[in-house]
Amino acid sequence: MIEVKDLHKQYGDIVALDKISLSVGKGELFGLIGPDGAGKTSLMRILMSLLLPNGGKATMSGLDVVADYKKIRLITGYMPGRFSLYPDLTVEENLKFFATVFGTTIEENYYLIKDIYQQIEPFKTRRAGKLSGGMKQKLALSCALIHKPEILILDEPTTGVDAVSRKEFWEMLKRLNNMGITILVSTPYMDEASLCDRIALIQQGSLMSVATPKEMTGSFPEDLWAVRTRKIYDTSKFLEKLPSVISVNSFGQVLHLVTQKGRHTSGSVQKFLSDQGELEISVTPMEATIEDVFILLMNHHNHRQ
């Protein structure tokens, strides 16, 4: 559905996209995971035919993003990064406006947005600027869906949104996905990655890895340990001196320790710490999260540079 080949984008000297290639299948819920400035927005804007690439090629549903931009705009729904509705128009007026712009009516495709729109319908005479963050998000999604697009492109729809609204939003995406809409969504929140069919980890304009979340966490190439301690800061300082350590990162009240494959057992780590005088500590092997993968790849990436 979305094919990207050697896509390159540069702003002056700054490389936003470094010859990336990517393929999203029909009906997939594809996540683009990476921090701000990684190149997510540039990629999406090129796909939406809003930016011209400096090199490479991209097609959406077989349509070239440069040559066929008019057709692309009819079959895609787009939700840009920042809130982009008219704050001085009411909820209903916004929706109606976008329906008309795309040559349709609210009624025609109401079934598609029903679940989402119903939640904000009680406030339909309220100005969009006065909605809470979660409600704005729902309205923006309704507006992007109103013309029944084949492909939905969402640029960081959950940034700055609280954890509850984020969960709800992802549930809505899943339902839309089940209706057959191909979805490309970007997010800086690593924990949202597991909700996608496939994900790409993007950092500094390059794709570090593309796979299903399971494949990605399952093929973690090093050993990963969950270290529970009372003194996170002190313990992490000690662990940085552990032989064949790769990284120590805190995840809430737990330290994630990455060591080279096969060099340690939970016993050997525990012994190292108790030798340093750290006693009340538990070390257990754990399965990697997307964030662990991201950090590991990012470290590799930085080392190569």
Cα separation values, 290 from 15, 116, 164, Å = 25, 28, 20
**Please, which residue, 1 or 208, has the CB nearer to other proteins?**
208
| Contact residue for other proteins among 23, 25, 26, 36 (CB under 8 A) | 36
Which residues, other chains included, contact 37 with Cβ-Cβ below 8 Å and sequence gap of 6+? 204
For the chain, what is the radius of gyration of the CA atoms?
Answer: 22
- Encoded tokens for 191: 């924990």
Q: x/- string (CB under 8 A) for other proteins, residues 122-161?
A: -----x----xxx--------x------------x--xxx
Given 2, 22, 38, 151, the residue binding other proteins (CB under 8 A): 38
111 binds other proteins, rule: CB under 8 A: no
Cα–chain-centroid distance for residue 197?
12
Give just the sign of the alpha carbon dihedral 51, 53, 58, 59.
positive
Least distance from other proteins to the Cβ atom of residue 255, Å? 11
Residues numbered 258 to 287 that lie near other proteins (CB under 8 A) are none
Residue from 6, 44, 42 nearest 22 by CA = 6
Per rule CB under 8 A, is residue 49 in the interface with other proteins? yes
The closest of 190, 127, 204, 122 to 158, measured between CA atoms, is: 190
Under the criterion CB under 8 A, does residue 85 sit at the interface with other proteins? Answer: yes
Q: Considering the complex, what minimum distance in angstroms separates the CB of residue 34 from other proteins?
A: 7
Residues forming contacts to other proteins in the complex (CB under 8 A) are 34-38, 45, 48-52, 69-70, 73-74, 76, 78, 80-89, 93, 96-98, 100-103, 127, 132-134, 143, 156, 159-167, 188-191, 203, 233, 249-253, 291, 294-295, 298-299
